[in-house]
Structure 1
């Protein structure tokens, strides 16, 4: 099966500092791939290069076999790449459904010709997306009064508004309670299964990573040091050294913070 996303020797320097060094990997259709590593490992830098927010010093990024290196974030988005962020950014003065409607209007290139009846545009499609993430019942609530976990669900609906083939999720469960984390990642796994979307996500909660990812990559000091399924990553001596200083293997119910 051909890769939806592929990086080849992806590298980024900040002066003398090498933030990401020669990172190569592939993400297949319908795969949920976790990118983990300690703070400062280069995860966010890697994400920013994939989305076009940072140009690579060297290397390439391919989306469905075509290079997207050098494209602006909006151009990458137009190619079918969605992204959620560690800290949610929504229009707090708008309702839940209006936020998703805005995303749909942008997808349909209508954002610069908003009319007085804009609140009626794409409402049914927005409600359908909210239903996908379990938020349809809260469609007409203002975002300012939502719980943080609900904001994360709404952000996921917004990311799905342009029917992406690839979804980048930067610490999707940050700031959420343990039960909310599990629920959100199960929802993401269901979307991967039902829609065939490919997902690359970073995460600090190892319980979430081990329970839901099909495959895991470990980044340390900008270099990819391990790749495999949950059992292989748990047993990898280099990963144990990075996370636990040479201690025991991750336990089945143990959470490590990267």
Structure 2
């Protein structure tokens, strides 16, 4: 059963079609990678899914509920979490305080400080840190952590409102190989154990083929391939985008520089 259904999604900036008639379904408890070269439309697609950009046309539904037209915070409250390419945490605060702030926000209590922050929701915050494997750093400032651990803090923050869908924008950017494999193995476990769905963008193909259940490939705003790792690995258009000329669509049927039609006779 699909958690997320995207139909005929389009986004234009002036005369540029950044996302061009993209449709796909993301099942429950599924980990899907969104791939493509720089400028393919991945970030634009992501930013429409969580309401940061308004599509030019199309539909985005989560279990039948239309998300287009809703504010990002309302989409977040419906169960859509997100992590970013550059980890977004409060470096001056402790690890556990970062997660406590996320729990505060989810409970709509940010303007109701009647006691120090460290006394609110500490145990639930520690449980989330245990979930991502960094409880031992709970009282350390985020500024002292290795980058891979900061990404785990961000994941704990994203999990604070119990998301059904988690959007991860290049989660492994800037990480060493052992760090990124550890983070994605953790994400895989969350998918398997908690039944959440994950859509992630990533440039590290070893990560993608190791952890994704399925993949979508964009090029010049269009969806050119969808399927499992074996299908994507051998797809001719995907090979062309990543290893060939970069031309992803049918040629114009005219010889270059001559204007003469291309002959199909041999």
Same fold (TM > 0.5):
yes
Q: Does 1:120 align with 2:119?
A: yes
Report what 2:157 is aligned to.
158
Q: In the TM superposition, what is the alpha-carbon distance from 1:8 to its structure 2 partner? A: 0.6
Q: TM-score when scaled to structure 2? A: 0.91
Does the alignment pair 1:62 with 2:61?
Answer: yes
Q: Distance in 1 between matches of 2:143 and 2:180?
A: 21
CA separation in 2, counterparts of 1:123 and 1:61? 36
The offset of 1:246, in angstroms, is 6.6
Is 1:75 the counterpart of 2:74? The answer is yes
Question: For the residues of structure 1 that align with 2:57 and 2:82, how far apart are their CA atoms?
Answer: 23
Partners in 2 of 1:163 and 1:200 — Cα distance? 16
Q: Which residue of 1 aligns with 2:253?
A: none
Q: Is the 8 A contact 2:97 2:117 kept in 1?
A: no
Residue 255 of structure 2 corresponds to none
- Secondary structure of the 2:226 match is strand
Query: 1:167-219: per-residue Cα shift (whole Å, max 9, x none)?
Result: 00000000000111111100000000011000000000000000000001100
* 1:117, distance to aligned residue in structure 2 (A): 2.5
Unaligned runs of 5+ in 2: 247-266
C-alpha RMSD over aligned residues: 1.0
Aligned twin of 1:253:
none
Distance in structure 2 (CA, Å) of the matches to 1:20 and 1:246: 21
Q: C-alpha separation between the residues in 1 aligned to 2:245 and 2:18? A: 24
- After superposing on structure 2, the runs of 4+ consecutive aligned residues of structure 1 that deviate more than 3 Å are none
The answer for the alignment partner of 1:252 in structure 2 is none
Larger Rg, first or second structure (1 or 2)? 2
Cα distance between partner residues in 2 of 1:111 and 1:213:
36
Which shifted more, 237-246 or 123-132? 237-246
Distance in 1 between residues matched to 2:241 and 2:113, nearest whole Å: 51
* Residue matched to 1:200: 199
Q: 2-side partners of 1:183 and 1:206: how far apart?
A: 15
Using the TM superposition, give the Cα deviation of residue 29 of structure 1 relative to its aligned residue in structure 2, in angstroms.
0.5
Q: Which residue of 1 aligns with 2:212?
A: 213
Structure-1 residue corresponding to 2:145 = 146
Aligned residue number for residue 173 of structure 2:
174
**TM-score, structure 1 as length reference:** 0.94
1:116 Cα offset (Å): 2.8
Aligned to 1:46: 45
Name whichever of 80-89 and 109-118 sits farther off. 109-118
Partners of 2:221 and 2:113 in 1: CA distance: 44
Q: Does 1:11 align with 2:19?
A: no
Q: Does the CA-based 8 Å contact 1:237-1:246 persist in structure 2? A: no
**Alpha-carbon distance in structure 1 between the residues aligned to 2:140 and 2:229:** 39
Report how many residues are paired.
Answer: 246
User: Which residue is equivalent to 2:257?
Assistant: none
